[in-house]
Amino acid sequence: MSARAAAISGLVVGALVLAVAWLFDVSVSHVTLLAPVVVLVAASVAGLAVFWYRAAADSLRQSRHPRMILGAAAAVVAVGIVLTVLGVELPRE
C-alpha cells in the first residue's frame, strides 16, 4: 500500500469516527475503540447502496416506460415532502 493510500484511508476512518461520535453523542475515545466496527458498517451500507442503485438502474433500462416510472417515483417523494412540511401525520394503529 502506498503512503498516499494509507493517508487517505486514515483520513476517511478519522472522519467516520468523528461523524459517528457526533451523530450518536458519544465520546470520541469510545468510538475510536469501535473503529473497526464503524468501518465495517460503513462499508456494508455503501455496498448495499451500490447494489440497489445498480439493480434499479438495470430494471429502469429494461422497462418499457422509464419516464413514467421516474415520474411516479418523483411524485411519491414530492408528496412525502409536502405532507411532512405540512405536518400531516398518518393514523397509527
Q: What percent of the chain has pLDDT over 90?
A: 90
CB 17 within 8 A of CB 35: yes
State which amino acid sits at residue 84: T
What does the alpha-carbon distance between residue 11 and residue 13 come to, in Å, rounded to a whole number?
5
Give residue limits of the domains in the chain. 3-63
pTM of the model: 0.68
Query: 52-83 pLDDT, tens per residue?
Result: 999 999 999 999 999 999 999 999 999 999 99
> What pLDDT is recorded for position 90?
79
